[in-house]
Amino acid sequence: MHTIDDTHKHTQMYLPIPLLLLLLCPGGTPFRICTFHLQRFAGPKAAKPPIMATLVKIISRCDIAVLQEDAKGQAVPALLHALNGTVSPESYSALSSPPLDIGRYREHYVFVYQSSRTQVLDAYMYPDESPARPDTFSRDPFLARFSLPSKALPALVLVPLHMVPTKAELVVDTLYDVFLELQAQWGAQDVMFLGDFNADCGYVAKKGWGQIRLRGARAPAPAPVTPFSPRIVVHGERLLGLVVPGSAQPFDFPTALGLTEAEALEVSDHYPVE
C-alpha cells in the first residue's frame, strides 16, 4: 500500500480535498484523475453562472473527476450541460451513486468523466453488512471500475470516500475489507481510494495507525496538520508504476482564475491539488 497526501491550509479554504494524479498513457498524453469536495452542490449553486463557469474550468482539467457533496443529485445534469457546452458536445458523462443518508443529511458521490477517454465498466455499492462491525460506513463506499487508454493498465477501480471524523480509525481500517471485496468480485489489484478520510487532528490517534491494515508497513503516521484529511491510497504495482511522483500539487484556482477569496468560497472551501 502507498499513501499520497498533501495537507496545506490557506485562510478559510482547505487545499487538500481535491487531488489529482497523472497516469502516463501511450503517446505521452497524461490521464488525470481528481477528487473535488463541492461543498453542498445543489440547485442554488448550479443556478449561478459564475460558479458553474469556475467548476467547468476546474473539472475540465480532469479525465475523471470524483465529486463529493452532490447534495440532492439534481445539479449534475446542469454541470454536464455546462461542461459539454464549453468543451465539446457529449464529451462528458456522469455516474452517480445512490443517495448516501446520514439522518437528514444527504449526498451522492459522482464520477464525471470524458467518455472519449474512459468508460464505466462496472459499479456497485459496498455491502456494509459485517455482523462484527455493523454500519461501519456512515456513507457506504461506491465502487466503480473504469477503462483506461493504457495497454499497461487497461482498467482501474476508484473508491470515493467522505468519512465521519468520529469513525475515522474504524473506517480507515475497514477499507482493507473493501479491498478484499474488490479482489473477490472483480479480481482487482489496481485500486485507488480517494477523498476526505478525516484521519488527522486526533481523529486517528498516532498509536492507532500501527493497527490499521490499510496502512503500509513503511508509511509514517501522518502529522496532525489540518482538521481535514484528504488522502489518495493507491494499491497495485502497475498503477504505482504509472503514477507520476509528486503529481499531486495544489491548484490555487482563485489566483489562476482571477477570483477573490469571497468568490472562490462561493464555489467551495477546498482547493484542487494537481
Give me the residue spans of the domains in the chain: 2-267
pLDDT band at 118, cuts 50/70/90? very high
Burial class of 211 by CB neighbour count within 10 A (0 to 12, 13 to 18, 19+): exposed
- Which one is catalytic: 37, 69, 108, 162? 162
- Which one is catalytic: 69, 107, 169, 274? 107
- Architecture of domain 2-267 in this structure: 4-Layer Sandwich (3.60)
The Cα–Cα gap between 195 and 48 comes to 26
Does residue 162 have an active-site annotation? yes
Tens-place pLDDT, residues 19-33: 444 555 555 678 888
- E strands of the chain, at which residues? 2-4, 9-10, 13-14, 20-24, 30-41, 64-70, 92-96, 100-102, 105-114, 120-125, 142-147, 155-162, 191-196, 230-235
Q: 189 or 223, which is more confident?
A: 189
Element (H, E) at 108: strand 105-114
Tens-place pLDDT, residues 125-142: 887 666 555 566 667 889
Does residue 10 have an active-site annotation? no
Tens-place pLDDT, residues 32-69: 888 888 888 888 899 999 999 999 999 998 899 998 88
